[in-house]
Amino acid sequence: MIKWFHNDKFALGWAWFVELLAHGFFAVQAFLIGGFLGELALTTVLGARIGTLLGAWLLALFIFGAAFQAFVLGEYTKEHVEAYENESGKGDGSYISSWKQIRYIVGGIEIASLAFRSFTILQEGGYTSTSAIVQSAINAAFGGLLLWYAFAQAKIIHASVNRPVEYDIAQSQEHAGRTLNERALQYIPKMTPEQLARYKAGDTTSVEEVASSDFFAQEQKRQEKQEKYNEKAAKKQQEWQRAEHGREQLRKARDTASNIFNPAMWSRKKDGPKDNERFTDALSSPGHHQSNGSR
């Protein structure tokens, strides 16, 4: 059961979950400042309610997408920019600088939304209220740590996804060794005392003997199962052939019955030519010549 959790896939999945949760948190934080900005800029055009909602949603989606692109996918963008700077011959350093500025800008926007939320908590609780001050400070500290954690986690995700292929080969070899050991343990209960003694002394041929015996036993069972299946298939084929033969006989019987009960089969020709008429026609035919002994 622990293998479901203690593995690299679960670790990478958790890192992705943290990224989505962290930037989703800052996106939700942005609802307040987005609504505030929407109320200021869009109220005269769309009204107070629609302007506030539209500003909140637009800023929240923008912050989430910008943070995801800058921190989670930023390493890929960095590689593209570095390739352009170093290999195109057109780089002057400004492209890498712009990439770095994007991260600072997105981080600053998230910090601004966090600061606005902390200010709102302080404003609602009163500037002189100790409880409001503590809550505001906790919110700011938690948001700052979460942003830091998300930034570091993005680096880990990039390194994990783009790990060297040699690492995967080494891991596959290690997995093969563990699998082999697990299968060897499965054969131990089937060993005889003599085979157990040889295996204890380091003779691995006892495992091979049990594995071969188990393989032949499984193969024999498979062959027996296949033979039973073939017998059933042959029996079904014979039943089908008999049924098809019966259907063919039934079709022939129907055709015969339809011919027997067809009145046209039993009608006679009453106006047939007489014998003398057939003889006269034969004499008058061009191919017929009587012989008179002359040439």
Beta strand ranges found along the chain (DSSP E): none
pLDDT at 235 over 80: yes
pLDDT at 168 over 50: yes
Q: Which residue has the tokens 């015996």?
A: 213
Q: What is the largest CA-CA distance in the chain?
A: 158
Q: What is the pLDDT of residue 295?
A: 43
Q: What is the pLDDT of residue 194?
A: 81
Find the helix packing angle between 205-260 and 193-200, rounded to 10°.
Answer: 130
Secondary structure of residue 107 in the 3-state scheme? helix
Overall average pLDDT of the 199-215 stretch: 75
What backbone phi and psi angles, to 5 degrees, belong to 262? Answer: -90, 115
Q: What is the pLDDT of residue 256?
A: 75
The region that residue 93 occupies, defined by phi over 0 for left and psi between -120 and 50 for alpha, beta otherwise, is: left
Task: Enumerate the domain spans of the chain.
Answer: 11-165
pLDDT at 211 over 80: no
Joined tokens for residue 36:
């505030």
Check the CA dihedral 127-129-131-134 and report its sign: positive
The closest of 162, 119, 127, 152 to 29, measured between CA atoms, is: 119
Give the span between the Cα atoms of 275 and 282, in whole angstroms.
11
Which tens digits make up the pLDDT trace of 17-76?
Answer: 877 777 777 777 777 777 777 777 777 778 777 888 888 888 888 888 888 788 777 777
